[in-house]
């Protein structure tokens, strides 16, 4: 159970937006994590370093925040290892098949009103809500 | 130079995920659990991110190329096909099962939990698996 944090949520969202704008202004790229990570698995000449740098930046950003944050940065996992592996495989496979995830479709795609991204975002949010309802309310998993 | 910009962009993105606490699976599940103790925070993250990005992208319409590269690489397809919808649905199941999507999965590695490593490894395996399908060629 988590509490509603509209201010930090909006500030964090604005930082994500700045990240997406920066990557487009200078590099002409969509800040879609699934696409950026997936591209490393099919390396093309001169197209890998920036992808690795972006992903390293994700980790560095969290480490920087850890150094300044007023409260500790904590992650709560409440599912089994099997659950984790299954979820990871589905997220990796699905985001590549569907050409994007919450950042590529959700943030960048919605910002440019792409019909494909609007459809994908609607589907993955609806399916994720249904999945949480089934696993946590009907099957009683998690806490 | 483009690599440095990518690093800075990644840092801003990671900071955004950390500040908004979206790297915490419980925070994401709190949003998706509309029948439980619903936490609307994720909607505020998304709205702010989309708002800033939309303004930035709109200002870019005047430019014919990015500062460091020869062209903008923006998806041009507008058709809604089966792989898009099936992929989004498969992604949604995984997202709902654990509460992690690719950004937080990678950024969360910074905290150093075994769960994060297992999820990220499984996610990379899922991405690799996609390449063996007819769509991944």
Closest residue in A to B137 (Cα) is A42
Q: What's this model's pTM, rounded to 2 decimal places?
A: 0.96
B97 touches chain A (CB under 8 A): yes
- List the alpha helices (DSSP H) in chain A: 6-27, 33-40, 49-68, 81-97, 110-111, 115-132
Q: Lowest-pLDDT range, A32-46, A97-111, B34-48?
A: A32-46
Give the tens place of pLDDT for each residue, A55-96.
999 999 999 999 998 888 999 999 999 999 999 999 999 999
pLDDT band for position A46 (cuts 50, 70, 90): confident
Alpha-carbon distance B25 to nearest alpha carbon in chain A (angstroms): 6
Residues of chain B with Cβ-Cβ distance to A29 below 8 Å are 6, 69, 73
- In this complex, is the C-beta atom of B117 within 8 Å of any C-beta atom belonging to chain A? no
pLDDT in tens, B3-34: 999 999 999 999 999 999 999 999 999 999 99
ipTM of predicted complex: 0.96
* Separation between Cα atoms, residue B55 and residue B47, nearest integer Å: 12
CB contact under 8 A, B5 and A41: no
Instruction: Encode chain B (137 residues) as per-residue pLDDT tens digits.
Output: 999 999 999 999 999 999 999 999 999 999 999 999 999 999 999 999 999 999 999 999 889 999 999 999 999 899 999 999 999 999 999 999 999 999 999 999 999 999 999 999 999 999 999 988 888 76
A143: pLDDT strictly greater than 70: no
Contact list, A110 vs chain B (CB under 8 Å): 46, 50, 54
* CA–CA gap between residue B45 and residue B48 (Å, rounded): 5
């Amino acid at each position: 159970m988590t509490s509603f944090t509209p201010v930090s949520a909006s500030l964090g969202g604005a930082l994500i937006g700045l990240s997406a704008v920066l990557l487009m202004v200078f590099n002409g790229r969509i800040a879609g994590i699934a696409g950026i990570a997936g591209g490393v698995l099919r390396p093309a000449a001169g197209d890998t370093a920036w992808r690795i740098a972006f992903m390293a930046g994700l980790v560095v950003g969290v480490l920087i925040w850890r150094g300044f944050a007023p409260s500790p940065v904590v992650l709560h996992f409440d599912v089994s290892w099997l659950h984790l592996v299954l979820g990871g495989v589905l997220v990796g496979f699905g985001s590549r098949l569907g050409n994007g995830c919450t950042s590529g479709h959700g943030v960048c795609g919605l910002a440019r009103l792409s019909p494909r991204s609007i459809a994908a975002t609607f589907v993955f949010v609806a399916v994720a809500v249904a999945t949480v309802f089934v696993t946590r309310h009907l099957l009683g998993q998690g806490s | 130079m483009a690599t440095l910009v990518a690093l800075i962009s990644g840092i801003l993105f990671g900071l955004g995920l950390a500040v908004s606490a979206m790297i915490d699976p419980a925070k994401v599940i709190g949003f998706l659990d509309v029948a439980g103790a619903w936490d609307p925070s994720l909607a505020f993250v998304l709205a702010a991110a989309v708002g800033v990005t939309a303004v930035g992208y709109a200002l870019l319409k005047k430019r014919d190329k990015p500062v460091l590269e020869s062209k903008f690489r923006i998806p041009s397809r507008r058709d809604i096909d089966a792989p898009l919808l099936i992929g989004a649905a498969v992604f949604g199941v995984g997202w709902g099962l654990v509460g992690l999507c690719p950004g937080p999965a990678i950024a969360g590695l910074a905290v150093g939990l075994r769960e994060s490593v297992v999820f990220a490894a499984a996610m990379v395996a899922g991405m690799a698996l996609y390449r063996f399908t007819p769509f991944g060629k």
